[in-house]
Amino acid sequence: MPPTYTGQLGPEPRDPDQAFWDPEMQTMPRERLEALQLERLRALVDRALSTPVPLVAAKLAAAGVTAGADLSSLDDLASIPTTVKQDLRDSEAADPPWGTYRFVGPSGCVRMGQSTGTTGTPTVALLTRRDIWVEYESAARTWWRNGWRPGQIVTHAHPAYLYGGGVMLSGSLEYFGALNLWVAPPDTDELAEQALRMWHRVRPDVSMVAFSLGRFQEVAAKLGLDGTGLPGFELRGADERGLPFMTAGFECYAYAGGPCGVDPGGHVHEDFAIVQAVDPRTGREVPDGTWGNLVVTTLDRDNALVRYDLEEAVLVLREPCGCGETSIRAFWGGRFKDFLDVQGRYFNLSEVERALRKVPAVTTPSLEYVVVKPVDPDAPLRVRVELADGDAAATADACRAAIADKLGVLAEVEVVERASLARSGYKAVRLVDG
Ligand SMILES: [Zn+2]
């Protein structure tokens, strides 16, 4: 249960040597965990119908579900049609500003935020204090798994204001008991320098600036500083299948899972969500170990989403993990919008980046590249990459060879001067038109 007022924000301290942040939930026997999910799912269905929440009620009606009790097992979820981001956008446009999918409206909420809008008009998320508590508890499990502990200094450069990610991350770190060293995203060299100077004064124990690291390295080199002042960051839980599943987005469930570092993948916080890899043609789950659409139903929170299809790739593993957590694990395979269909190969944009990282000439002080959106699938993949100094023709050849080797496609690589591609303080735009 969430803590009540105890004279402090956040949870009671726990033994730093214990294996899990929340041992009860994280090691619950599968049978009990699945029974808890069904109980919470039924409560969610009843609440969608009694509130009512028209967008969700319509999906339930399409499945012939008239009460939570109609769901006899978790398998029955497959009958409920999925909801995609465009449904939320359409709902907000038809019934502005909130749409018809909120369980709790603005007067019951304390925080709003929107996504970065990299995939079209952003939708607005509304969170109650309970929703924030669910996120903070979930984040704490992940920080604990990483081996982080209260008392450490954690730094990050997440954007703020209307984008909800920065305040969510900052709040979760404070709740956990870390010292939150929040610097601005390095949108300009001046902002990057401000952060770098602080890290040379106050050394963080943990760095979460992965999305902006290249920018910081670039500006540190310009200033002649001895590195960024940041500790190294090792992403655990990834293997040849992909990245560990960690998030279902700010609009759905920001801290939906995290890797334990024992066996690969990310543990799913199943008491707070049902995460499925779904075949969009049938609505049913694909076999374990194969890719499907990431479909999430959030549980035990106020503003829930039911069968929300994030249009991203996910792969679920159900075999037990060596760490002792009983939850399923999952891999994240990227957003479908970032997949490229070229010369009969289908791959994620991030795989182009992994290929280019094999070419040392283009990775110092940071790798800066863009891929031109393919128009003709048979044409060479067009890539532009910056080179600080060295031979342009030989570097282009090396990049072409690395892409051919990793992806099996023919590329046309244009080597451009340093600082000629656009910079971004957070997630850089790597897929461009023309
Ligand atoms: Zn594990």
Whole-number Å distance, alpha carbon 18 to ligand 1 midpoint, is 15
- Distance, first Cα to last Cα, the chain: 53
Tokens (6 digits) for 226: 């001895």
Residue 155 has pLDDT above 70, yes or no: yes
Percent of the chain whose predicted confidence (pLDDT) is above 70: 98
Strands 369-372 and 431-432: parallel
395 — pLDDT class (breaks 50, 70, 90) = very high
Q: Which pLDDT band, with edges at 50, 70 and 90, does 370 fall under?
A: very high
| pLDDT one-digit tens code per residue, 30-73 | 999 999 999 999 999 999 999 999 999 999 999 999 999 999 99
Q: How far is the CA of 139 from the centre of ligand 1 (A)?
A: 16
Output the pLDDT for position 2: 57
Find the 262 Cα to ligand 1 centroid distance in Å. 5
Residue 212's Cβ-side half-sphere holds a number of Cα atoms within 13 Å equal to 29
**Residue of 9 and 307 predicted with greater confidence:** 307
Give the angle subtended at the CA of 55 by the CAs of 50 and 57, to the nearest 5°.
Answer: 40
How high is the pLDDT of residue 424? Answer: 86
What integer pLDDT is reported at residue 241 of this predicted model? 85
Q: How far is the CA of 142 from the centre of ligand 1 (A)?
A: 11
147 C-alpha to ligand 1 centroid (Å): 13
The whole-number pLDDT of residue 108 equals: 98
Q: How far is the CA of 292 from the centre of ligand 1 (A)?
A: 22
- Render pLDDT for 297-335 as a digit per residue (tens, 0 to 9): 999 999 999 999 999 999 999 999 999 999 999 999 998
Measure the CA–CA gap between 166 and 106, rounded to whole angstroms: 21
> 263 CA to middle of ligand 1, Å?
6
pLDDT of 364 over the 60 cut: yes
Q: Assign 240 a pLDDT band (cuts: 50, 70, 90).
A: confident
Say which residue, 271 or 9, is predicted with more confidence: 271
Query: Is 60 exceeded by the pLDDT of residue 1?
Result: no
- Beta-bridge mates of residue 309: 84, 295
Highest-pLDDT range among 112-121, 296-305, 387-396? 296-305
Residue 184 CA to residue 258 CA, distance in Å, equals: 25
Nearest-5° Cα angle at 391, 386 to 394: 95
Q: What residues contact 133, with CB distance under 8 A and at least 6 apart? A: 2
Neighbours of 127 (CB within 10 A): 23
- Grade residue 143 by pLDDT with cuts at 50, 70 and 90: very high
What is the CA(111)–ligand 1 centre distance, in A?
32
pLDDT(136) > 70: yes
The pair of three-digit structure tokens given for residue 407, joined into one six-digit string: 């992806």
Distance, CA 258 to ligand 1 centroid (Å)? 9
Residue 327 CA to ligand 1 centre (angstroms): 8
Judge whether residue 117 has pLDDT over 70: no
pLDDT in tens, 97-106: 999 999 999 9
| Structure tokens belonging to residue 275 | 């995460």
Q: Residue 119 is encoded by which pair of tokens?
A: 């995939």
Residues with CB under 5 A from ligand 1 (ion): 260, 262, 321, 323, 325
What is the 325 CA–ligand 1 centroid distance (Å)?
6
pLDDT digits (tens, 9 = 90+) for 179-208: 999 999 999 999 999 999 999 999 999 999
* pLDDT at residue 236 greater than cutoff 70: yes
SS (H, E, C) the chain: CCCCCCCCCCCCCCCCCCCCCCHHHHCCCHHHHHHHHHHHHHHHHHHHHHCCCHHHHHHHHHCCCCCHHHCCCHHHHHHCCCEEHHHHHHHHHHCCCCCCCCCCCHHHCCEEEECCCCCCCCCEEEECHHHHHHHHHHHHHHHHHCCCCCCCEEEECCCCCCECHHHHHHHHHHHHCCEEEECCCCCCHHHHHHHHHHHHHCCCCEECCHHHHHHHHHHHHHHCCCCCCCCCCCCCCCECCEEECCCCCCCCCCCCEEECCCCCCEEECCCCEEEEEECCCCCCECCCCCEEEEEEEECCCCCCCCCEEEEEEEEEECCCCCCCCCCCEEEEEEEHHHEEEECCEEEEHHHHHHHHCCCHHHCCCCCCEEEECCCCCCCCEEEEEEECCCCHHHHHHHHHHHHHHHHCCCEEEEEEECCCCCCCCCCCCCEECC
Secondary structure in 3-state letters for 31-82: HHHHHHHHHHHHHHHHHHHHCCCHHHHHHHHHCCCCCHHHCCCHHHHHHCCC
pTM of the predicted protein model: 0.91
Mean pLDDT, the chain, rounded, equals 94
pLDDT of residue 4: 63
pLDDT of residue 172: 98
Distance (Å) from CA 148 to ligand 1 centroid:
16
The bridge status of strand 273-278 relative to strand 291-298 is antiparallel
Q: Residue 235 — very low, low, confident or very high, per pLDDT cuts 50/70/90?
A: confident
CA–centroid distance, residue 316 to ligand 1 (Å):
13
The Å distance, Cα 382 to ligand 1 centre, comes to 40
Q: How confident is the model at residue 242 (pLDDT cuts 50, 70, 90)?
A: confident
164-181 tens-digit pLDDT: 999 999 999 999 999 999
Considering Cα of 327, then 332, then 335, then 336, what sign does the dihedral take? negative
**With pLDDT > 90 as the criterion, what percentage of the chain qualifies?**
85
